[in-house]
Chains A and B, each alone.
Chain A
């Protein structure tokens, strides 16, 4: 059974800092991995999707990497801003089906 773990569970940083969020998964048979952002009481916004054959994806200040063999992904946020404050979720799509398996999320607070 696929399990996704995100570390840390919560993170508080000053504005301008570069930071890394970690995601690990137990079964490397995945099609892709998605990083989402969830604001309190809101839905999910897809940030980046990495196909299993890819090593990384970039969008603006965000960079996500994937090491499928070790079951790890990282989300790098450069020059963090208070508007980045949200919960960040990692999810994997397995080759055996179409369900996304989510981690518990990292709650990020960027202080002005």
Chain B
């Protein structure tokens, strides 16, 4: 009975490269959320997706960041042309429909050198 899976767990990128973070939700969960935890800061909402739809992306930076949750396969958070300020822990959560509990994955720790 697997929980939310995220990979990679650690990712190192040089400035200007692309980072792709993957999230597989709990089986049967159709809602996926991405949050970011910057060093010494709290978790901040980024984006909420359902299968093939972005429902709320109000927490996403306007440039370089994108997210998708295709019909098949994991949700992807993509960061283009990474900068040092993107270094953070990125957490994915999933939930079934309705105002239910969100279950979090272990996170991907991105380091930009």
Contacts and interface: CB of A to CB of B under 8 A. Distances in A.
B22 interface: no
B100 to A, nearest CB: 8
Contact of A100 (B33, B105, B109): B33
A52 to B, nearest CB: 9
A99 B56 CA distance: 8
B66 to A, nearest CB: 18
Interface stretch (B11-19, B42-50, B73-81): B42-50
A43 interface: yes
The majority secondary structure among interface residues of chain B is strand
Nearest to B10: A41
A108 interface: no
B69 interface: no
Interface in B1-46: 31, 33, 35, 41-45
B103 A99 contact: no
A97 to B, nearest CB: 6
A43 B43 CA distance: 11
A91 B59 CA distance: 16
B102 A100 contact: yes
B96 interface: no
Interface of A: 31-32, 34, 36, 41-46, 49, 51, 89, 91, 93, 97-105
Given A45-B104, A99-B59, 5 more contacts: A43-B91, A89-B42, A98-B48, A101-B45, A105-B42
